[in-house]
Amino acid sequence: MAVKTINYELNRLIGLKLLRVRQMAGLSQQNVADDLDFSPTTYSKLENGKIDFTVTRLAQLADYFNVHAPDFLDASLDAPRHKDEVRPHSDYKSMETKLEALRELIGDVIK
């Protein structure tokens, strides 16, 4: 039988990010608990890192707040990014092309 390992530090990190996202949305714990059909106690424990996060639950919370689920796991971010803040890959390719053209122009001017 597999032994369950709990990563308390990761749970705390995710919980803090969840708290920040909820506060940025201007919602109470009760609002979120009601909307997601969690008990208020369960939701509070999630924010406080007292409960393990399942992938399903993390995806549910990310969808609810319209943020990127992987951002909950990224220690370099204070809070998950809103889905509207992240551009599609094609936008970045277009921006890279424009940046390269600008570099060529600047290079010609400087010479």
Q: Encode pLDDT of 76-99 as tens digits.
A: 888 898 888 765 555 556 667 767
* Whether 40 contacts 29, CB under 8 Å: yes
CATH superfamily for domain 8-84: lambda repressor-like DNA-binding domains (1.10.260.40)
Taking CA 38 as the corner, what is the angle to CA 32 and CA 39, rounded to the nearest 5 degrees?
Answer: 105
Alpha helices per DSSP H over 26-74 = 29-36, 40-47, 55-65
Lowest mean pLDDT among 4-8, 15-19, 54-58, 67-71: 4-8
Q: What is the pTM of this model?
A: 0.72
